[in-house]
Amino acid sequence: MGQEPSIAGECMLNVTVENIGELAVVECEGKIVQSKAVLKLREAVTSQTDARIVVLELSEVHAIEGGGLSMLVYLKRWTREHNIRFLLFNPSKSVRNALERARSMSEFYIATIDEMAALMVYANSRYALTG
């Protein structure tokens, strides 16, 4: 039983950051299982030093493992130390299951669609005033 052939990009994580005023939405797509993906996520969030709120959008994350879960805990602590609110939004079923298995679900605030809509409106109105 040899190793499974890996498909190029199979374990890749795509991260897109959208800044709206003091709100940073970090959209993740792919898998947070390899150290490269975990470090990419850390860099995306810790570079948001001007944000007051960081939202991690996880609807397109198909797998997360121990290192990824540990990074979420680290990022929660890092944002708290930098006086930044850290929210998860729309975690996929596999992410929710992993958080529940690790008994980490209660550590994170998961924003509802209504809360996200309100945050976007607030961020856009604040940005319009300063921009």
* CA–CA distance, 17 with 84 (Å, rounded to integer): 16
pLDDT of res. 4:
40
* CA–CA distance, 24 with 15 (Å, rounded to integer): 12
* CA–CA distance, 12 with 14 (Å, rounded to integer): 6
Token pair of 100, please?
């529940």
Domain extents in the chain = 16-130
Q: What top-level class would CATH report for the domain 16-130?
A: alpha beta
What pTM, to 2 d.p., does this model score?
A: 0.86
pLDDT of res. 127:
67
Residue 92, exposed/middle/buried by CB under 10 A (0-12, 13-18, 19+)?
A: middle
pLDDT tens sequence across 100-119: 998 877 889 999 999 999 99
pLDDT tens sequence across 1-54: 444 444 444 458 999 999 999 999 999 999 999 999 999 999 999 999 999 999
